[in-house]
A = this chain, B = another copy of it.
Amino acid sequence: MSLRHALLGLLAERPMSGYDLAELFSTSIANVWSAKHSQIYPELGRLESSGLIEVVEEGPRGRKAYATTAAGRDEVRAWLLGTEPDRTVRNEPLLRAFLLWLLDPADAAALLRAEEEAHAARLTGFEQRAEHWSPASPPQRAGRIVLEAGLRSQRALLGWARWAREQYEAQTDRTGAQSVPSPTQGQSPRR
């Protein structure tokens, strides 16, 4: 049910088409939530039928821009105030980190290096956005607050990835293990 409220909230700020929303979900707010156009269009249809959003503008190529209605804004507020957030985590990079003991240390270090670079790249992106941020309106201030969460957690995870890589590199040095192990593949002894 989160996509529903994400759309409602985004369209409360300014009118957008399904196309605009899909673009948003694949770029700026991809660090928070994401969705494909194939999921967005049907949901917009349902929201319109329920009277929570309405078409406020029609453009070329059948473009329809929607905006959230008063009832729609009430619905978002009721969701925010009346339901508990789902705090379930599914973090594939961390799942992989959990299984790195199955590789030889040099390979593990290489994968953590890639993680490090991914975090560094995101952080740079966030920092650039933060520079040009004008917190003029309430929505923009909220956006800045979310961006701050991104900045802080990417910094933390960048530091972590570097530290984690060093753990495995220390093992590489000690054991003298190679990046490409023998046919029977490194450690991980059978019970």
Contacts and interface: CB of A to CB of B under 8 A. Distances in A.
A148 interface: yes
A124 to B, nearest CB: 15
Contacts of A98: 9, 29, 32, 142-143, 146
A15 to B, nearest CB: 8
Nearest to A105: B138
Contact of A89 (B31, B74, B163, B187): B31
A101 B142 contact: yes
Contacts of A160: 148-149, 152-153
A12 to B, nearest CB: 6
A85 B12 CA distance: 34
Interface in A1-31: 2, 5-6, 9, 12, 14-15, 29-31
Contacts of A34: 88-90
Consensus secondary structure, chain A interface: helix
A155 interface: yes
Interface of A: 2, 5-6, 9, 12, 14-15, 29-34, 67, 70, 73-74, 76-77, 80-81, 85-103, 107, 111, 115, 118, 137-139, 141-143, 145-146, 148-149, 152-153, 155-157, 159-160, 163-164, 167, 185, 187-188, 190-191
